[in-house]
């Protein structure tokens, strides 16, 4: 989550903040109020087997 640049001053490929700053400074976007959210993932485990709930014991679920 930091700005990273090459010695030449150009942003490196993984510098996502540089691209975001360009987007958020656009006049159409400046007038908006951005919303941010945090996503948390979790897994429920079966108490007796300590395996994910709904999964076949020792295996993986089928394709969705």
Q: For residue 14, is it within any domain?
A: yes
CA distance 1 to 16: 8
- Cα gap 39→5, rounded to integer Å: 29
pLDDT 10s digits, 8-22:
999 999 898 998 899
Q: Which domain covers residue 2, as residue numbers?
A: 1-34
Q: Give the chain's domain count.
A: 1
How open is the CA angle 57-63-64, to the nearest 5 degrees?
Answer: 110
pLDDT tens track for 3-58: 889 999 999 998 989 988 999 899 999 999 878 888 899 999 999 999 999 899 99
DSSP SS3 for 45? strand
Q: Establish if 17 belongs to a structural domain.
A: yes
pTM here is: 0.44
The answer to whether residue 49 is domain-embedded is no
């Amino acid at each position: 989550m930091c700005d990273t640049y090459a010695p030449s001053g150009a942003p490196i490929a993984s510098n996502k903040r540089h691209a975001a700053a360009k987007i958020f400074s656009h006049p159409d976007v400046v007038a908006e109020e951005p919303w941010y959210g945090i996503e948390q993932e979790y897994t429920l485990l079966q108490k007796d087997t300590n395996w994910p709930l709904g999964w076949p014991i020792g295996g993986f679920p089928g394709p969705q």
